[in-house]
Amino acid sequence: MPIRALPPLLVNQIAAGEVIERPASVVKELMENAIDAGAGNISITIEQGGKELIRIVDDGSGIPFDELTLALQPHATSKITTSQELDAIATLGFRGEALASIASVSRISILSRTVAQTEAGLVEGEGDQLSQPIPAGGPVGTAVTVRNLFFNTPARRKFLKTDQTETGRIVDMAESVALAHPDIGFTLSVDGRNRWELPPQQSPRNRALQILGTELESELLELQQEERGIQLWGLLGKPNIARSTTKHQRVYLNGRLIADRTIAHAIKEAYRGLIEPTRFPTIVLFLSMDPALVDVNVHPAKSEVRFRNQAIIHGTILHAVRQTLRDADLTPAFDLQQSVTVTPNLAIPPPLPREFSSGMSTEGTSSTNAPAARAFVDYFRQLNPQQKGFVFSEMKAAISDVDPALAELSEEDSAREQLLPSVRSVAEALQVHSSFIVTQDEHGLVIIDQHALHERVMFEKLKQRLDSGTLESQRLLMPAVVEVNQTQLEALDKLRDLLPRLGIELEQIGPTSVAVHAFTTLLFERGVEPDVFIRELLEKSAAQTASPEPEMVLHEVLDMMACKAAIKAGDRMSDEELGELLRYRESIERSSNCPHGRPTTLRLSIQDLEKQFGRR
Ligand code: ADP
Ligand code: MG
Tell how far the Cα of 152 is from the centroid of ligand 2, in angstroms: 22
Comparing 604 with 387, the larger pLDDT belongs to 604
Percent pLDDT > 90 in the chain is 48
Atom 7 of ligand 1 has which residue's CA nearest to it? Answer: 98
Order across the sheet with 513-520: list the strands.
473-483, 513-520, 505-510
> Which ligand 1 atom sits nearest the alpha carbon of residue 100?
6
pLDDT in tens, 461-491: 898 889 888 999 999 988 999 998 888 888 8
Q: How confident is the model at residue 554 (pLDDT cuts 50, 70, 90)?
A: confident
- Which residue has a Cα nearest atom 23 of ligand 1? 34
Give residue 421's pLDDT.
61
Q: Among all ligands shown, which has an atom nearest to the Cα of 59?
A: 1
Atom of ligand 1 nearest to the CA of 97: 6
With H, G, I as helix, E, B as strand and everything else as coil, classify residue 278: coil
Contact of 519 with 503, CB cutoff 8 Å? yes
Averaged pLDDT for residues 51-78: 95
- 162: confidence class by pLDDT, cuts 50, 70, 90: very high
The confidence score (pLDDT) of residue 424 equals 59
Closest CA to ligand 1's atom 13 = 77
Whose Cα sits closest to atom 16 in ligand 1? 78
What is the arithmetic mean of pLDDT over 395-399?
A: 34
User: What 3 state SS string does 388-421 have?
Assistant: CCCCHHHHHHHHHHHHHHHHCCCHHHHHHHCCCC
Residues 6+ apart with CB under 8 A from 191: 46, 47, 48, 167
pLDDT tens-digit series, residues 67-99? 999 999 988 899 988 888 888 888 998 888 999
CA 171 to chain centre: 19
Q: Cα dist. 266→5, 313, 319, 463 in Å?
A: 45, 9, 9, 20
Q: Among the listed ranges 27-41, 57-71, 331-345, 405-419, which one has the minimum average pLDDT value?
A: 405-419
Mean pLDDT, the chain, integer? 83
Ligand having the closest approach to the CA of 89: 1
What is the rounded CA–CA span in Å between residue 171 and residue 431?
Answer: 48
Residue 441 bridge partners (DSSP) = 444
Measured over the CA atoms of residue 572, residue 575, residue 578 and residue 580, the dihedral's sign is: negative
Q: Which residues line ligand 1 (CB under 6 A)?
A: 29, 33-34, 37, 58, 60-63, 71, 76-79, 93-100, 142
Q: What is the mean pLDDT of residues 313-320?
A: 95
> Which of 20, 28, 29, 33 maximizes ligand 1 atoms within 8 Å of its Cβ, making it the mutation to test the pocket?
33
Averaged pLDDT for residues 513-523: 92
Q: Whose CA is nearest to atom 17 of ligand 1?
A: 71
In the reported structure, the alpha carbon of residue 100 is separated from the centroid of ligand 2 by a whole-number distance in angstroms of 10
Pocket of ligand 1, candidates 44, 77, 94, 297: which has the most ligand atoms within 8 Å of its Cβ, to mutate? 77
pTM, two decimal places: 0.73
How many angstroms separate the alpha carbon of residue 524 from the centre of ligand 1? 69
Q: Let me know how long the chain is.
A: 616
Q: How far is the CA of 113 from the centre of ligand 1 (A)?
A: 13
Instruction: Evaluate whether 110 touches 144 at the Cβ level (below 8 Å).
Output: yes
Which atom of ligand 1 is found nearest the CA of 99?
6
Cα gap 610→525, rounded to integer Å: 45
| Banded pLDDT at 546 (limits 50, 70, 90) | low
| % of the chain beyond a pLDDT of 70 | 84
Arithmetic mean of pLDDT, 486-512: 89
| CA 18 to centroid of ligand 2, rounded, Å | 14
Separation between Cα atoms, residue 6 and residue 211, nearest integer Å: 44
Helix, strand, coil percent values for the chain (each to nearest 5): 40, 20, 35
Supply the residue whose CA is at minimum distance from atom 20 of ligand 1. Answer: 33
Residue nearest to atom 18 of ligand 1 (CA): 33
Going by alpha carbons, the residue nearest to atom 12 of ligand 1 is 71
Q: Which residue has the higher pLDDT, 13 or 145?
A: 145
How far apart are the C-alpha atoms of 6 and 14, rounded to whole Å?
10
The rounded Å distance from CA 104 to ligand 2 centre is 15
Q: What is the pLDDT of residues 213-249, one digit of tens each?
A: 999 999 999 999 998 889 999 999 999 899 999 889 9
Task: Tell how far the Cα of 77 is from the centroid of ligand 1, in angstroms.
Answer: 6
* Residue 329 pLDDT: 86
Taking only the tens place, the pLDDT of each residue in 406-456 is 333 333 333 443 445 666 566 678 888 989 999 888 888 889 999 999 999
- Those residues whose C-beta lies under 8 Å from the C-beta of residue 298, and which sit 6 or more positions away, are 304, 305, 306
CA gap 451, 457 in Å, rounded: 10
User: What is the position in ligand 1's atom list of the atom closest to the CA of 32?
Assistant: 2
Distances (CA, A) of 131 to 72, 101, 110, 142, 431: 11, 16, 11, 17, 79
More confident residue, 357 or 181: 181
- C-alpha 439 to ligand 1 mean position (Å): 61
**Per-position DSSP letters for 434-474, written without gaps between them:** TTEEEEEETTEEEEEEHHHHHHHHHHHHHHHHHHTS---EE
Mean pLDDT of 300-304: 84
- 531 Cβ contact partners less than 8 Å away, ≥ 6 residues apart: 480, 481, 482, 516
Surface-to-core class of residue 192, CB atoms within 10 Å of its CB (0-12 exposed, 13-18 middle, 19+ buried): exposed
- How remote is the CA of residue 393 from the centroid of ligand 2, in Å? 71
Ligand with an atom nearest the CA of residue 98: 1
Distance in Å, CA 297 to ligand 2 centroid: 13
- Distances from the Cα of 51 to the Cαs of 28, 102, 123, 213, 240, in angstroms? 15, 12, 21, 28, 37
CA distance 34 to 74: 18
Residues ≥6 apart with Cβ < 8 Å to 84: none
- HSE-up (13 A, CA, CB side) for residue 341: 14
Q: Which atom of ligand 1 is nearest to the CA of 76?
A: 10
pLDDT confidence band for 590 (50 / 70 / 90): confident
